[in-house]
Structure 1
Amino acid sequence: MPDMSAPYRSTRYRPRKKDLHVTFEHFYRVDLFMKTLDKQIHELDCRFSEQSIELLSLGSTLCSKKINIDHIVLLIEKYYPTDFTEQERNQLVCQLETFQVERINNAKLSEVATLSDLCQTLVETGKNSMYDLVERVCRLLLTLPVSTATTERGFSAMKIFKNRLRNKMSDENLANSMVIYIEKEIADKFDSESIIEEFKGLKDPSNIEGLEADIQKVNVAS
């Protein structure tokens, strides 16, 4: 291990006058570590907006041992004003206070480390009925679009379905077709015959032939 207080000499470049007093500690801490850290922070700032960062911090707060209730309520008022009424926000404060105490005493809740695990544990333990507003916050945060990958896949799928021959396709039909195409891994698990049989059991199975044609088109496209 080199002496960190010793002068650092680059073997690749001729040292400049101001580099003569650079030590190994300064090189590794400032020139190497800090530059790498600044680059990573810059990439994160470019990828995630300020809103996404605040909502991600909200998710981490819910999974921490000490919940910052005031911070959660402020972000809920800021980003989800239409999803919670004023009365529900007041109830959310009470639920968070109770939830924070119960999480310490509940073995399953205390082991939760991620937001998805928290939402799943609330359902498995039946606590979602008691902490329904906390669960709603978790579900809203889990739908946070932190990446544009889903949007890009949606536009790619739209180019496949809404081509020159289908330019008069309705928005509802287009949306349904895109969901099936984008989530093809899930759609592949469904049997076409079972879908047709279920559609036949509806009160108004007036477009069964169109359904069969759409299923065939989706299978061909995928």
Structure 2
Amino acid sequence: MGITDVLCQALQQRSQDLLNAMHLVSTTKSLIQKLRDDGWEPLLASVIAFCEQHEIDIPDMNARYTKGRGRYRRQDEDVTMEHHFKICIFTVAIDFQLQELKSRFCELTTELVILSSTLNPKDAFRLFKIVHICNLVKKYYPQDFTEHEQELLESQLQHYEFDVIKHPDFQNMSTISELCRGLKISGKSNVYFLIDRLIRLVLTLPVSTATTERAFSAVKLLKTRLRNRMEDEFLADNMIVYIEKEIAGNFTMEMIMEEFYSMKNRRQA
């Protein structure tokens, strides 16, 4: 929890810094993996010290682990107490956390966000790098740019670096959407039409600060103590209805019943 807290706090900030957030995802994965590989012995020593300080009985870690309760208890000859705590609890919990992070922040998504950030005009285009932009196009948008256009894009970027980035009208911009509007107003979108196309493609990425913040708020309201056993799929469905309640409010009971009636293998209650 201490390792993931920094990432959770960054994702809940009102002003999202997606580049640093993606870097935090990578460092969080690395730290959790390091905890899995080297963290058991320090954790065990810390727990033993705590138990000794507060006079709590410490189980014999070399003893056989006993499964079940009451008359159904039985010992597993191949599993010690330490093996049970380390492999069946400690490692399993960490593997679940790593799997969750990898499913929500896969390597391709993380790299896509990092490469896309090179187009951001924030801090006078501090992150601008031609090689990263070209890699972004080659890896993620090969169907939107022909081979000839990819070569031409690199030439446009060289002019763009000395023209737009140095232009005083673009120095105070902080978002890609502002940059897109600025290129259109100045007419430079016609000159750098390939860069303008790429910027518009990046703007369609499903990365929304507002949606992220609303999702975190919805979880706090929906995932209550009485609903702590709610399955992920059911929770996700409830969150969609809650977050998009303005749209959901347009549906009537009759519309829902008609939809279910029209579906095969369904019956009305």
Q: What TM-score comes out, normalization by structure 1 length?
A: 0.49
Q: What TM-score comes out, normalization by structure 2 length?
A: 0.41
As a proportion of its length, which structure holds more strand? 2
